[in-house]
Amino acid sequence: MNARRAVFTLILVAAAASAAYMWMSARPRSSRSDMNALSERYVRLVLALGQHDPDYVDAYYGPAEWRTEAQHAKVPLAEIEAAATDLAGDLNAITPVPSEVGLPRLRHSFVARQLESLRARVSMLQGRKLRFDEESQALYDAVAPAHPEEEFLGTLALLGQQLPGAGPLAERYETFRTRFVIPPARLDAAFRAAIDGCRARTLKHVRLPQGETFSVEYVTGKSWAAYNWYKGDYRSVIQVNTDLPIHADTVITLACHEGYPGHHVNNVLLEKNFVRDRGWHELSVYPLFSPQSLIAEGTADFGVRVAFPGPERLAFARSVIFPAAGLDPATAPVYYNVAELIRKLGYASAEAARRYLDGQMDAAMTASWLEAHALQSPKRAAQQISFFDQYRSYVINYTAGEDLVEQWVEARGGAVSSPDRRWELFENLIASPTLPSSLLTPNSQLPTPK
Ligand SMILES: [Zn+2]
């Protein structure tokens, strides 16, 4: 993914030649206690690690020469590890006292925890094997709660009553939802209508900087359904994977997740509030395998239920998406009855990943398990397993992330019945560098950047 990014062809050869030197060079004492200088070292480490792991740097829009230097220095993993240990020590030496609250403390905790995650990723690339839960704790600052098999069986029994026919449930589900596939010729119109709806609802509650924009591309041959590539300057490229059929509700979830109020808005607000307004370099880079991803995916998934709370999603689908997709709006309610139950099977993905990556099930068993417990078609299960191979425990960021975000928002008065408060808390999460573990603290409030 990183390889497909535009590569700067202008290379500062002299700077690159001396780049390796800077890793281990002695730094003046003042730079060891200056948070901006420590933050720059963190960004350079993320860029250096990106040279060993093509998925690691999901976005970067800081100084172009830092990336160019990382590309040409190609610092070995052992040196990255040593420099990261050194940086962790310097960060630790300026840990704010517990009585200090607000953004400086949030900033310090964020960089320190992101760096801890980077060190875990370095050790994995050096061959360290972690169990699924250990890995997700180390990389994402969270462990996904276990969901027992009986939970899925209960939902499957309810689906059995809803889905006509007598064959295996997965086949009945596929047959049922074939009626709701968006014809390829209508996909772009339906997706753009979904984005317009998500964006309009977001703009009623969240102030976005002028000039924020995105483009949409349709791609194939990916392990994901869609992707937001944030380019900086308030711009995103949203890619939608058309390998598998795309159903009516999917365009709403993808538009909210990748665009508004999901990844695009999250990145725009972090750039505005921190990189531009405060010069915090650390937010100009987004390491994919880091705690930042749990908040990003959790809020992106929850975002659809903020933009379209309760019955509004069905109403929007029936009045806008079904007509745009050329589907019969009268069939929308029955589709959503089933979709709501299917959503509960989402936890099956993390359960399958845990068993697969811990070696309890091989690929064939995992595919069967996903077909039986998540009602995935064989093709979708194969796509999911290739996602597990590529991104491993990243999968917890969706379901566990969404639950963590939902619980945090709803425990602070952001229920569906209080839409303004729901948006306010949601914006609080997407507009701050929040750590997953901090959401578990009872009554925790986040410092707001306004
Ligand atoms: Zn996402």
Q: How far is the CA of 34 from the centre of ligand 1 (A)?
A: 33
- Tell me the pLDDT tens digit for each residue of 15-38: 444 444 455 445 655 566 699 999
Distance CA 119, CA 82 (A): 10
Query: Tokens in use for 146?
Result: 């276990």
Amino acid identity of residue 353, one-letter, is A
For the whole model, what pTM was predicted? 0.91
How far is CA 321 from its chain centroid?
Answer: 25
Q: How many angstroms separate the Cα of 274 from the Cα of each of 70, 106, 110, 133, 387?
A: 23, 12, 13, 31, 32
How far is CA 401 from its chain centroid?
Answer: 9
Lowest mean pLDDT among 101-105, 156-160, 263-267: 101-105
Distance CA 388, CA 386 (A): 5
Confidence of residue 447 (pLDDT cuts 50, 70, 90): confident
Q: How far is the CA of 294 from the centre of ligand 1 (A)?
A: 9
Distance CA 411, CA 421 (A): 11
* H-helix or E-strand spanning residue 240: strand 235-241
- Tell me the pLDDT tens digit for each residue of 161-192: 999 888 889 999 999 999 999 999 999 999 99
Q: How far is the CA of 395 from the centre of ligand 1 (A)?
A: 10
Q: How far is the CA of 255 from the centre of ligand 1 (A)?
A: 11
CB of 251 closer than 8 Å to CB of 323: no
Within 8 A by CB and 6+ apart from 61, the residues are 230, 231, 232, 233, 271, 275, 284
Q: How far is the CA of 93 from the centre of ligand 1 (A)?
A: 35
Q: How far is the CA of 199 from the centre of ligand 1 (A)?
A: 17
Half-sphere exposure of 341 (CA within 13 A, CB side): 21
Q: How far is the CA of 388 from the centre of ligand 1 (A)?
A: 15
Residue 387 has pLDDT above 60, yes or no: yes
CB of 124 closer than 8 Å to CB of 130: yes
Query: Tokens in use for 249?
Result: 């509700």
Q: How far is the CA of 207 from the centre of ligand 1 (A)?
A: 22
More confident residue, 130 or 1: 130
Q: How far is the CA of 393 from the centre of ligand 1 (A)?
A: 14
Q: How far is the CA of 297 from the centre of ligand 1 (A)?
A: 5
Query: Tokens in use for 401?
Result: 């992330």
* 213-219 and 235-241 beta bridge pairing: parallel
Q: How far is the CA of 170 from the centre of ligand 1 (A)?
A: 26
Mean pLDDT of all residues in 343-369? 95
How many residues are given for the chain? 450
Q: How far is the CA of 403 from the centre of ligand 1 (A)?
A: 15
Q: How far is the CA of 213 from the centre of ligand 1 (A)?
A: 18
CB of 140 closer than 8 Å to CB of 294: yes
Mean pLDDT of all residues in 293-308? 97
Residue 2 has pLDDT above 50, yes or no: no
Q: How far is the CA of 389 from the centre of ligand 1 (A)?
A: 17
